[in-house]
Amino acid sequence: MKESSAATTSTGSNEFVQEQEKRAREGVLFAIAAYTIWGLAPIYFKAVAHVPAFEVLAHRIIWAFILVLVLIIATGRMQRVVAAFKHPALLAKLAIAACLIGFNWLLFIWSVANDFILEASLGYYINPLFNVVIGMVFFAERLRRLQIIAVVMALLGVLIQLVTFGSVPWVALALASSFAIYGAIRKKLPFDSLTGLWLEILLLLPFILIWFAFFAQSDTTNLLQNSWQLNTLLVMAGVITTVPLLFFTGAAQRIRYSTLGFFQYIGPSLMFVLAVGVYGEAFTVDKMITFAIIWSALAIYSFDAARTHRQAVKAARVR
C-alpha cells in the first residue's frame, strides 16, 4: 500500500511539474507575441499616417472601448467595474493614469507619422531605467550598485547628445517618462489589467466624443465618406490596443514578472529595425552615440537583473 501511495504521489508530482512547464512555455509564447505586436505596431500606424494623430487616437479609444467591453462581459468582470465606482478616490488616480497613457498613445502615433520611430524605440529602451528611478523616488526602493551605474550611463547618453550635438531626444524622454509614471500609478491601484484598461478608456471616452462632435474637421472624420479599407484600418486601432495587452496579461499569469522583463527589448528592437531598415530614418552620429551608451547601460541592467533572479531562485530552493 505504501508503494502504491508513493507511486500515486510521484505521478501527481510529475503531472504538476509538466503542467507548470506547459504554462511556462505558453507564457513565453504569449510574451513574445505581445512584444512582437508592439514592436511591429509602427507598420499599422504608418498605414494611417495621413489621418490626423488625434483622430487615430480617438478611433483607438472608441473601438478599444467596444472590444474590451465585450471581453469584460465575456469574462464576468462587470461586477469589478461596478465596484470601482464605489471608490471615487481610486477612480481619480486612475483618471490621472488614463491621461498619461492617452498622451503616450498620442505621442507614439504622432512620432510614427512624422518619422520619429527611432526616437520612439529609444524611449522604450530606456523605459526600464526610468522604472528603476521611479521605484527609488516613489517606492523607496534601494538601487543596487549596477542599477545605479546603468541609470547614470543612460543620463550620460542623453547629456552627451544635448551638449555635443545640441539636440534633445524629447520624444524618447516623453514616451519613457509618461509610460513609467503611468505604470507606477497603476501598480498602486487594485484593478486587473483588463478591468483597469476599460475603466481608463471609459474615463477618456467623453472627451473623445465631445471632440468628434464639435471639433473634428478632417476629411476622414465621417466614416460614411471613407473607403471600406480605411474604415477597416481605423477599426483595427482597437485590436492593436487590446490584443497585445491580452497576450501580455496571459504571459504575466504564467511566468515570473522578472522573467517577463527580459522580453521587453523585442518591441524597441523591432521598432529600431523598421525605422532604419524599412522607413529609412537617418541613424546620425548623435543617435549612434546615444544608442550605444543606452544599449551598454541596458546590458549592465539586464546582467544585474539576471544575477538577482538566479540568486532569488537559488534562495527559494534552499528554503
Cell digits for 52?
A: 490626423
Grid coordinates of 245: 495587452
Give the pLDDT of the chain (319 residues) as one tens digit per residue: 555 555 555 565 677 667 777 887 888 898 899 999 999 999 999 999 999 999 999 999 999 999 999 999 999 999 999 999 999 999 999 999 999 999 999 999 999 999 999 999 999 999 888 888 888 877 777 888 888 898 899 888 888 887 776 778 899 999 999 988 988 888 888 888 889 999 999 999 999 999 988 888 888 888 888 899 999 999 999 999 899 988 887 887 777 766 677 788 899 999 999 999 999 999 988 889 989 999 999 899 888 888 877 777 677 666 6
pTM: 0.87
Contact 27, 255 (CB under 8 A): yes
Domains of the chain, by residue range, sit at: 31-318
Q: Are 56 and 105 in contact (CB under 8 A)?
A: no
Radius of gyration (Cα) for the chain, nearest Å? 22
Distance CA 150, CA 2 (A): 56
Task: Give the separation between CA 274 and CA 284, rounded to whole angstroms.
Answer: 16
